[in-house]
Amino acid sequence: MELHWQLLTFIVCLQSLRSAGFLQQEERKCNYGRIAKLMRIKCYDMDLKEVPQNLKTSVEVLDLSHNRIKKLKSGSFQKYTDIQFLMLFENMILSVEPGTFEPLTSLQEIDLSNNGLTTIPLELFQLPRLRNLYIDSNELTSLNLQALEKPIRAPLEYLNIASCELQELPDLGILPKLWQLNASMNPLQDFKIDSLANLCHLQVIDLTKSRLSQCGCQQVTNHLMMLGASPRFVPVCMEALDIRECPLPYNQTIHSATFASCQTTVELAETRSLWLLVAGCFGGACIALMIIIFWVIHCRRKRTQRRMRNVQKRKPFVISPKNAINNRHPEDEPLHCDTARK
């Protein structure tokens, strides 16, 4: 018992000296490395209170998870414009200043899960390469998207809004590339089936533990089956409701103008990609042909220049005037040649 108290006293004294500045804590540094040929900087669980500004600006994968960051400022990522993957989960982020994410035009994935956000930073939806957004386990109860510019610019493919106390699915406009949505563990009491009309490419939706009504459950299941998607993560419908109680979602979803507009957007994007591919191939072929023509012309010019140099170096010969006069018996006497002089 006495040993225990001595040890406790020693620890208290050590903490007191450290807090007074007599003992310095060992400085922890971010870990540099590479993952899939991308430069990664891992500042995991370092008790950081803000985004460090002394990192290499060429960072492409930045892990700031499990820290104590409470606020993201407009200049937090101003230096790190090459970031493609950003991990900020398990912090204490309560607010994000406008313009914070604007410099991250190369960002493909961001994880803001397990923080204290009450809204989604709208500028994220305008990033030109953002495919995956994790913002689950936040307090998005009063989500305000009235100022959101639609259609959004971000080509979202995966969206995780699980466990955010949402009453309904957020209206982000047409999302033609979104194929997976995780909205599980939300009290979706105001869920409307027509909200899925914006997601014409949807293949997986997770609605487990979402308190869906029996009609909502039946409508979502029918909708997914009509899309050829799997209803695996939709709550099991306990009973089949009559069509008068629960209308099938043909008019609200698959046959709606919104769904058709979403499909048109997909087709236009595919056509644009095809034309870009054809134009790229044609441009490449033209460049290759121009290089070949240039090379042929260059080779011919080189041969011509070489031939001209050889002609200039060759010494011309003339018949001796003696032989020109003495031509009675040319076979009796060999020709005498005089070398012409310049």
253-288 pLDDT per residue, tens = 888 889 999 988 766 655 555 555 666 677 777 787
pLDDT at 180 > cutoff 80? yes
Name, in order, each residue with C-beta under 8 angstroms of 140's C-beta and a sequence gap of 6 or more.
117, 118, 119, 120, 161, 164, 165, 166, 170
Q: How confident is the model at residue 241 (pLDDT cuts 50, 70, 90)?
A: confident
Q: What does the pLDDT read at residue 171?
A: 93
Strand residues in 132-257 grouped as ranges (E) = 132-134, 158-160, 180-182, 204-206
CA distances from 193 to 134, 206, 247 (A): 23, 14, 10
Q: How confident is the model at residue 292 (pLDDT cuts 50, 70, 90)?
A: confident
Q: How far apart are CA 299 and CA 321, in angstroms?
A: 43
| Residue where the block lists tokens 């970031």 | 83
Q: How confident is the model at residue 228 (pLDDT cuts 50, 70, 90)?
A: confident
Q: What does the pLDDT read at residue 286?
A: 77
Catalogue all structural domains in the chain, each as residue range(s) with its CATH number.
28-155 (3.80.10.10), 175-271 (no CATH)
- Tell whether the torsion through CA atoms of 14, 18, 23 and 28 is positive or negative: positive
Q: What does the pLDDT read at residue 66?
A: 97
Q: How far apart are CA 184 and CA 9, in angstroms?
A: 49
Q: Which comes out higher in pLDDT, residue 152 or 289?
A: 152
